[in-house]
Every structure is written in structure tokens, then in C-alpha cells.
């Protein structure tokens, strides 16, 4: 089917892209030693090239307002107006353990979550005469039309404002008992193929970067000077493609006390700002000119780093060191 167009349902006569990779079966799976053999692949996916008819952004997932474990009466598909996106911070090529919490966002059932019930199982689809190798099954609701939905884990599920996720794979279908919900066939058991399966068959890592941190945010470049012994910091904007809100810059400070030979601060949040500069008006010491290199441990010093944050996703800067007073000359270092 390579070369076939794909169209959105609301503009069925207008193509939004073209299928560019849909590999043939890479192996076979036999339910017995001789009989009931099926063509098999490691994933249930293909690759499309978009033509710009629909706006797109690599590495982001729409974030609905409601997260469901049991399906609510009505579809919960409204996008959160405050945190409209999940951002792919990493991909995971491993197999999650049984009991691990996984999530998905699909066009039919929205944002649902569940727990892994079986890891790396071969799934047979007799009606289509094929099998998917080493799929993951989860006790999680999905329905017709959810196929292809991203499966992920939240990097920090305890923080509702965090939108940073680890991409695990993509939904292939439902399994087991089904029911009808809002005119859709849905199942409480979902299976999906892991990201590594897509990578091995579609060459995803060599063609695309799904880690969107470097697309949404750039690394701020930190520079500095000294004014009357006070550290003056400035940095470049971290705004990349697809930024949809203000960026918060956090100034992190660490301080080494040469007299006590201990860190009195480690990653202390000295400031949080949306500007591109900041002066430390209450530094631990009176400092000299900044350097990219850590001073000798005989000297007290502070280091500064900037972390740019948007929707819980962050990028860090380089580190600057400001040298303070030397440990007493008559005391060995």
C-alpha cells in the first residue's frame, strides 16, 4: 500500500499525507509446530509523510481535560485549555513490568489509563490472518478508532501541571470481551506495540526525532559578569518551534564553602523569572569574574545554571562559576 493517500474524516476528498512505509511480514508465527501459521510483524504500524494540509507538530500529544480509568457516560475529548499538550521527553524501548501504569490518548475514548496485565506476548488476529510479536496487554479501555493512539507514562504523575511523558508505543487494538459505548465498540483490554518494534521495522530513529524537548525548547546559553561584586547573569531565549506559552527560567545556585569544605547549597532555587537576565543581589560571597571552570577547592565559590521550563518540560544551560575568597593561607587545602 506504499504511496496511498490518507485523508482526515472531515475532508475525505483531500489528502493530508501519503503512506511511505508499510513493511511486509518480517516473520511467521505458528500456534503449533506445523499448523495455524500466520504472517507476523513486530509492530502494527506504518509511516506517513504529511503534506501540510493539516497543522502538525512532532512529538506532542493532545492532552484532554479528563483522565479516566472507567469510561464516563459521555466521551471526554475536550482539550485542556491550560495544559493543551503532552510533550515527549523520552522514548522507552523496554517491556514494562506487569502492574505498571500506562496511559493513552485516543480519538474515541480520550485519555484513559490502566495497568499492564501481560508483557511481551504474541497476539494472533485470526480474522486478518496475522500476528503481532511481543505485544504488551493492559487493562485499559479503548475503542474502534483509537488504533494508533500513543501509549505513554507520565514522567511525574504526582504533579498535575507536568506535561512531560515517556513514549512507550502505539495502540494496536482491543482484546477479549467488548461492549457498545456511545455507538462505538470498546474493550476493557488493550494491546500495543512497543516503540522499539516501530523503530526496527520503520527506521524511526534514523528519520525522525520524537524527543520534542529540543524542538519546543532550546538550551539557553548562559553568560555573566560582575558588578560591585554581584553576579550579573544573562542568557539566550530557549524558545523553539511550536512554543505555545511563556517560558519560565529558573536560576539554580550551588555554593562551596572552602573553610568547612562542604556544599552549603546544592541546586538552590535562587530565582524564577520570565526575563532573560537576573542579578544576584544576595550572593554568599563577593565574587570575581565568572568562568566556565570550577575553581580550586581552596576557594569558596558559587555556580549558576539556568533551567528553561514550559508545561513541566525543561532544558538546562551551561554552568558558570564565580570564585570567592580563598581558604586561609596558613591552613592546608
What CATH number should be reported for the domain holding residue 83? 2.40.10.10
Q: Note whether 141 and 63 are same-domain residues.
A: yes
Q: Is the CB of residue 124 less than 8 Å from the CB of residue 163? A: no
Contacts 24+ apart (CB under 8 A), 68-75: 68/109, 68/110, 68/111, 68/112, 68/113, 68/141, 69/112, 69/113, 69/114, 70/141, 71/109, 71/112, 71/141, 71/181, 71/186, 74/182, 75/108, 75/109, 75/110, 75/182
My answer on whether 127 and 254 are in the same domain is: no
Q: How much is the pLDDT for 244?
A: 66
- Give the CATH number for residue 282: 2.60.40.10
Q: How far apart are CA 298 and CA 328, in angstroms?
A: 9
* 94 and 187 assigned to the same domain: yes
Q: At which of 214, 244, 264 does a domain end?
A: 214
d(CA 290, CA 211): 33
Instruction: Give how many domains the chain has, as a whole number.
Output: 2
Phi and psi, residue 206, nearest 5°: -80, -15
Kindly state whether residues 160 and 309 are assigned to the same domain. no
Q: Which of 214, 230, 247 is the last residue of a domain?
A: 214
Report CA-CA distances (Å) from 181 to 107, 109, 227, 324. Answer: 14, 9, 66, 67
State the sign of the Cα–Cα–Cα–Cα dihedral 85, 88, 89, 94.
positive
The β-bridge relationship of strands 67-68 and 110-125 is: parallel
* Per-residue pLDDT at 230: 95
pTM: 0.69
Q: Are residues 157 and 228 in the same domain?
A: no
The whole-number mean pLDDT for each consecutive block of 10 residues of the chain, a chain of 333 residues, reads 81 88 81 74 86 82 93 92 85 84 95 94 82 92 93 83 86 86 93 87 60 72 95 94 80 94 93 96 94 93 92 84 87 70
Please report, for residues 215, 216, 310, the alpha-carbon distance to residue 240 in angstroms, rounded to integers and kept in the order given. 6, 5, 11
Listed residues 165, 197, 214: the one ending a domain: 214
pLDDT at 195: 87
**Do the domain assignments include residue 48?**
no
Same domain for 276 and 318: yes
Amino acid at each position: 500500500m506504499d504511496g496511498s493517500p490518507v485523508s482526515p474524516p472531515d475532508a475525505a476528498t483531500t489528502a493530508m499525507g501519503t503512506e511511505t512505509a508499510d513493511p511486509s511480514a518480517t516473520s511467521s508465527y505458528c500456534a503449533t509446530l506445523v499448523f495455524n501459521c500466520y504472517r507476523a510483524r513486530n509492530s502494527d504500524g506504518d509511516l506517513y509523510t504529511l503534506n501540510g494540509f493539516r497543522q502538525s507538530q512532532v512529538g506532542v500529544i493532545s492532552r484532554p481535560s479528563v483522565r479516566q480509568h472507567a469510561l464516563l457516560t459521555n466521551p471526554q475529548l475536550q482539550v485542556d485549555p491550560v495544559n493543551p499538550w503532552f510533550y515527549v521527553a523520552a522514548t522507552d524501548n523496554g517491556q514494562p513490568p506487569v502492574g505498571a501504569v500506562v496511559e493513552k490518548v485516543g480519538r474515541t475514548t480520550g485519555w484513559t489509563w490502566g495497568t499492564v496485565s501481560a508483557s511481551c506476548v504474541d497476539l494472533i488476529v485470526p480474522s486478518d490472518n496475522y500476528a503481532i510479536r511481543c505485544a504488551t496487554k493492559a487493562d485499559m479501555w479503548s475503542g474502534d478508532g483509537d488504533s494508533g493512539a500513543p501509549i505513554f507514562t507520565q514522567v511525574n504523575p504526582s504533579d498535575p501541571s507536568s506535561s512531560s511523558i515517556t513514549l512507550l508505543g502505539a495502540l494496536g487494538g482491543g482484546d477479549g470481551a467488548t461492549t457498545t459505548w456511545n455507538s462505538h465498540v470498546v474493550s476493557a483490554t488493550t494491546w500495543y506495540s512497543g516503540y522499539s518494534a516501530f523503530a526496527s521495522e520503520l527506521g524511526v530513529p534514523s528519520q525522525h526525532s520524537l524527543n520534542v524537548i529540543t524542538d519546543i525548547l532550546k538550551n539557553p546559553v548562559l553568560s555573566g559578569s560582575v558588578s560591585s561584586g554581584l553576579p550579573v547573569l544573562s542568557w539566550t531565549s530557549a524558545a523553539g518551534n511550536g512554543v505555545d506559552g511563556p517560558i519560565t527560567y529558573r536560576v539554580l545556585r550551588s555554593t562551596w564553602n572552602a573553610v568547612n569544605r562542604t556544599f552549603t547549597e546544592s541546586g538552590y532555587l535562587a530565582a524564577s523569572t520570565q526575563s532573560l537576565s537576573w542579578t544576584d543581589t544576595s550572593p554568599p560571597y563577593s565574587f570575581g569574574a565568572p568562568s566556565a571552570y570550577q575553581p580550586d577547592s581552596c576557594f569558596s565559590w558559587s555556580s549558576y545554571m539556568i533551567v528553561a521550563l514550559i508545561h513541566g518540560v525543561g532544558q538546562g544551560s551551561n554552568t558558570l562559576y564565580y570564585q570567592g575568597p580563598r581558604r586561609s593561607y596558613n591552613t592546608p587545602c
